[in-house]
Structure 1
Amino acid sequence: MKKIFFFILTIGVVPGAFGQRALFPDVLDLRADPPEGKRIEQNVFSDMGAWHAYALPLQPKDYGAFTGPLVMDMNGRWLSDAVSRLAVAVNGQQRDFAGAKAEIHYFPGMLEQSFVWKDISVRQQLIFVSGRESLLHTQIRNHSTNPVQLRVAYSGRVKGMEVKNTGLEGQRFSITWPATDSTYADSLGYAAVWKASLRPGATFDQTQRHSFAPDGHHPNNQYDFNTELKKNAARWNGYLSRYFAGTKRLSNDEKRLAVKGIVTLMTNWRSASRDILHDGVFPSVNYQGFYGVWSWDSWKQAAGIATFFPRLAKNNIRSMFDYQDEYGMIADCIYADKSENNWRDTKPPLAAWGVWEVFRASKDTAFVREMWPKLVRYHEWWYKHRDHDNNGLCEYGSTDGTRIAAAWESGMDNAVRFDSAVMLKNNAAAWSLNQESVDLNAYLYAEKVYLARLGAVAGERNHFTEAALELKRLIGDRFYDAPAGYFRDRMLGAPKHVPVDGPEGWIPLWAGIATPAQAAAVKSKMEDAKKFNARVPLPTLSIDHPAFDPEDGYWRGPVWLDQFAFGTEGLRRYGYRKLAAVLETKLLTGAEGLLADQPIYENYHPLSGKGLNARNFSWSAAHLLMILKNK
């Protein structure tokens, strides 16, 4: 028993192999029965921008196999329940993995299964080595005092794939393995077999290379697994060390949440492929409609990713600006098939903020100089195409004249405040809502502030500081509803404000526009349990509004973590640090599964804490990383 116990310990915590990441096993529960087809809600593991992913087995009958892969392109589907399933026989006797001492874990950057019997032990490890390739390594060790005869077999489904002595080949997925002693296949699957005589203390080692290439271009690389494992551990330990540098007050649960945020973003990372020209981050690997890269998602993701991996943060921003049009517009979203890109609208202007956050983390002045002219063109685009009456205050709108695309442009697709808005034509390819939105103009004010800072870094003289001061005056005059004590939208030509209270009302605090008296009034609503201070605070619609409907409302009541974070940052900006900390604690403890091994959701029910909509959502993870930095 002592030998077995020591072996299990060395698998889990040897510092040279794992280092810091050994402290964070299973921050996300990846165990599940094998899914089928396009049911992709299962938590999965991917890395390095790969377009395929795996999960851990739940049932003992599936031990010895990693679930999947899930393969992705314009949508996702499970290629197999287990494309590589291990079977081991010792001296002619088949071993039952369910009867072994089993350890099955998800470490940041690696899946691992280990099985121990009295005479032998088996360890399987799966890591990614590129944006197309993963390695599955198997090690079998003889712990007995006698030689043993091994029969090692891997089997799986092979529909649409050709089986060869050194692997499987398909149009976009392939497996490469060492030459076999025997290989066979039929219409149901394949088996590849290796035989070996193992002396006492010796090991049998084998590495398979799995490759999925959505663009059809398979790499032909050779890898040494031990070398790659060391690189993998160093890379992941580097991510964690960079993030945790300077954080001193996080609890163990909060540290695990931070790591869960990091692995969520890394699993949603997709490398450049086909019409996606730079690496980007999907909103969620678990929702078919999110297999692309979105603009304001990218700005927020970049701000969070910059806390541990600035290079990816920069490319995430570049991926959207690769498609900036001749007028300066940024598309709502882009896909691996650019014919599907959505040019009907853009998204709220937070790009300069995202670039500034990346610069703060990386100090990369070359990146700022690269982005500067693109950011200026995008900023100027808003005033040329989304200011219907040319009064210096912009409206959300669309390129096709449809109201639904204009609502999408706000990012708050079905927000109650837009229920009475109609479309107005600005020019041949630009329409606006007949409603000036306080959040849009507050974002534009913040962009001017950040553009002024970025211009100084880039060595570019600019007028954005002066322009920001003028816009600040206009916003205060136009959008603050003094009787209500809140910032609200205004219809063009209407004498009164739109009588709806949502997160748009605290964005002026985040941007630094509000006067101290205005901030105090907004703060009083944010801390009011009848308005916004719910179990999970700061929902997207005041609790007392008749249309409040978190379960089915999307932007009519759920708590979105980006708007939550803007709210608490705004409170801190005006000195309400204690309230901000209280609200953040309520979020972390009240939102379902945040401090457990459950996925980070797109949004949360403010009253019950239930996770809503897409799982493993990128901008939620990014903002959690920023929120935890406030500790």
Structure 2
Amino acid sequence: MTNEMLFKETRKIIHENMIKKQRDGKTDFHYTKPSPERYPYQFFWDTCFHVFILNALGEHDMAKEHILSLFSKQEDNGFVGHMIYWDRLKPGRLTDFFQSKFNYKNFYKSHMSSLVQPPMAAQAVERIFEATGDKAFLQKMLPKLKKYYRWFAENRDFDGDRLLTIISPFESGMDWKPTYDVVLGRKNKKAAWDLMLKVVNVDVRNFLNNYDLDRIYEKGYFLVKDVGFNTIYTCNLQSMANICKILEDPEAEEFSLLQEEVTAAILGLMYNKEDKAFYDLHGKNNIQIKVLTPTIFYPVVLKDIPEEIKRGVLQTHFFDSKEFDAEFPIPSVAKNDPSFDPSASVFIWRGPTWIVNNWFLHGLLIKQGHKQESEKLIKSIRRLIEKSGFREYYNPFTGEGYGAKDFTWAGLITDMIRMEEEEKEEQSCRNGKKSNSYNC
């Protein structure tokens, strides 16, 4: 499949999944559903992914409208939920129902969930500016972004160590990640229906506590400092510093300092020197959860992580044929982990390949000189689309597509192709180097 065909098919799916409502000449909302039926809401990090895709496609005005729609329901304290239920009554799925505070008014109007997702908004906004040079858009978004990231620093850094805590498996975006089994008290590594009950019970308890974060922290039912979530947070603090510098805003230094402090905490608390891996933490004592998922690699994209640590993590795990090397990488848990299941299941993120991991690590591998491996990631997505179309996730051995159909994430290949083209330009003309907002 040629690049032209990939871009054409991606544009087709994005537009077919797109929803826009206007009233009195003004846009109420404008977003892209991750898939036509299974995921009808506006999701936070999916919207950010769609911005990267839309920019790669040259659809910059649509990218702006997607972000503005995402922040249109922002609360006064800066909070933005992980789902916005536009023009809907309470969601039909039981799991969705318990992810919002109870408010009878929410049955009758658009509203947000009470959970969050990885905070990628600053990167998405920075990418729009890189593509358009639109300072007016930056100026419009900066106050919203400041409130948003301050909300995280003030409300989810429970322990004062600069790392953010998630209170539900659904907040990481990787809902059934086997790391969380430890926190849920599961000894059986294979997914079973008790896992479903335990995960839903986390949200039920949060719901019964009316999403009062102080009470939830005190109860300590599910407190996880997820490596992927915190790495994305760190990257976005750097993007915030970059945006502030562009606009000559004096708070650039504040965001830059916070980014350095979060990176130091990731290195000091999450990195395991003996295992050469970055692990999720749980509880109030920051206990490392020693399960190998692709997020053990995420911090190697951070500029302040020492090069020898980056090389050690990649050499020890990424290139290990027993762990993450597969015909269609990257499996969502190491192949030799007892929880590994590459087949279709309601318990996703426990073996199948998800495009987001390839996208996140692709830029790093290019910059680290691992050209063969970076090319393998992008070729894998190309082959997956040729074989199975745009699917939610894929079998890492056969490439068979699973889950939702016409799922937009595979369209991230357009951003990866764009990055490869940029890298070639940089190599030929280093003095014209552009910033790369997801290789922080």
Q: TM (normalized to structure 1)?
A: 0.55
Alpha-carbon distance in 1 for matches of 2:286, 2:234: 24
Contact 2:161–2:265 (CA<8 Å) still a contact in 1?
no
1:470 paired to 2:261: yes
After superposition, residues 213-612 of structure 1 pair within 5 angstroms as: 253-272=2-21, 277-285=28-36, 287=37, 289-307=38-56, 308-337=58-87, 339-340=89-90, 341-397=111-167, 406-421=168-183, 429-430=212-213, 431=216, 433-462=222-251, 463-494=254-285, 496-524=287-315, 525-551=317-343, 552=345, 553-589=347-383, 591=384, 594-595=385-386, 599-612=389-402
Contact 2:123–2:236 (CA<8 Å) still a contact in 1?
yes
Contact 1:412–1:555 (CA<8 Å) still a contact in 2?
yes
| Structure 2 unpaired stretches of 5+ | 91-110, 185-201, 422-440
What amino acid is the match of 1:298? T
Greater strand share, 1 or 2?
1
Alpha-carbon distance in 1 for matches of 2:157, 2:312: 29
SS in structure 2 of the partner of residue 290 of structure 1: coil
Alpha-carbon distance in 1 for matches of 2:131, 2:352: 31
Cα offset, 1:338, TM superposition: 5.1
Contact 1:442–1:513 (CA<8 Å) still a contact in 2?
no
Alpha-carbon distance in 1 for matches of 2:137, 2:313: 37
Alpha-carbon distance in 1 for matches of 2:83, 2:248: 31
Structure exhibiting the larger radius of gyration computed from Cα positions: 1
What amino acid is the match of 2:3? E
Cα offset, 1:428, TM superposition: 6.5
SS in structure 1 of the partner of residue 402 of structure 2: strand
Change (3 A) 1:512 1:313: same
Alpha-carbon distance in 2 for matches of 1:319, 1:561: 25
1:529-578 alpha-carbon deviations (Å, 9 max, x no partner): 21111111112111111111132141111111112110222222333233
Bigger relative CO (Cα 8 Å, ≥ 6 apart): 2
In the alignment, what sits opposite 2:100? none
Q: CA RMSD in A?
A: 2.3
Contact 1:284–1:615 (CA<8 Å) still a contact in 2?
yes
Contact 1:537–1:559 (CA<8 Å) still a contact in 2?
yes
SS in structure 1 of the partner of residue 257 of structure 2: helix
Give % identity. Answer: 23
SS in structure 2 of the partner of residue 416 of structure 1: coil
Contact 1:438–1:505 (CA<8 Å) still a contact in 2?
yes
Alpha-carbon distance in 2 for matches of 1:611, 1:626: 21
In the alignment, what sits opposite 2:435? none
Cα offset, 1:342, TM superposition: 4.2
What amino acid is the match of 2:365? L
Cα offset, 1:336, TM superposition: 2.9
Alpha-carbon distance in 1 for matches of 2:8, 2:301: 26
1:211-256 alpha-carbon deviations (Å, 9 max, x no partner): xxxxxxxxxxxxxxxxxxxxxxxxxxxxxxxxxxxxxxxxx62321
Greater helix share, 1 or 2?
2
1:297-324 alpha-carbon deviations (Å, 9 max, x no partner): 0011101101210000111111110011
Alpha-carbon distance in 2 for matches of 1:548, 1:343: 31
What amino acid is the match of 2:282? M
Cα offset, 1:587, TM superposition: 3.4
Contact 2:73–2:80 (CA<8 Å) still a contact in 1?
yes
1:376-429 alpha-carbon deviations (Å, 9 max, x no partner): 1111111222122222111112xxxxxxxx111111111111113267999972
SS in structure 1 of the partner of residue 223 of structure 2: strand
What amino acid is the match of 2:18? W
Change (3 A) 1:342 1:546: farther
Alpha-carbon distance in 2 for matches of 1:546, 1:437: 20
Cα offset, 1:268, TM superposition: 1.1
1:472-513 alpha-carbon deviations (Å, 9 max, x no partner): 111111111111111111223547520111121121123434
Aligned length: 365
What amino acid is the match of 1:383? A
In the alignment, what sits opposite 1:120? none
In the alignment, what sits opposite 2:430? none
Cα offset, 1:611, TM superposition: 0.7
Change (3 A) 1:512 1:261: farther
Cα offset, 1:273, TM superposition: 5.3
Alpha-carbon distance in 2 for matches of 1:474, 1:532: 26
Cα offset, 1:294, TM superposition: 0.7
Change (3 A) 1:417 1:575: same
Contact 1:254–1:595 (CA<8 Å) still a contact in 2?
no
| Structure 1 unpaired stretches of 5+ | 1-251, 398-405
Change (3 A) 1:415 1:513: farther
SS in structure 1 of the partner of residue 392 of structure 2: strand
What amino acid is the match of 1:329? F
Contact 2:80–2:112 (CA<8 Å) still a contact in 1?
no
Alignment counterpart, residue 615 of structure 1, candidates 391, 398, 405: 405
Alpha-carbon distance in 1 for matches of 2:27, 2:408: 18
Cα offset, 1:435, TM superposition: 2.3
Alpha-carbon distance in 1 for matches of 2:389, 2:298: 27
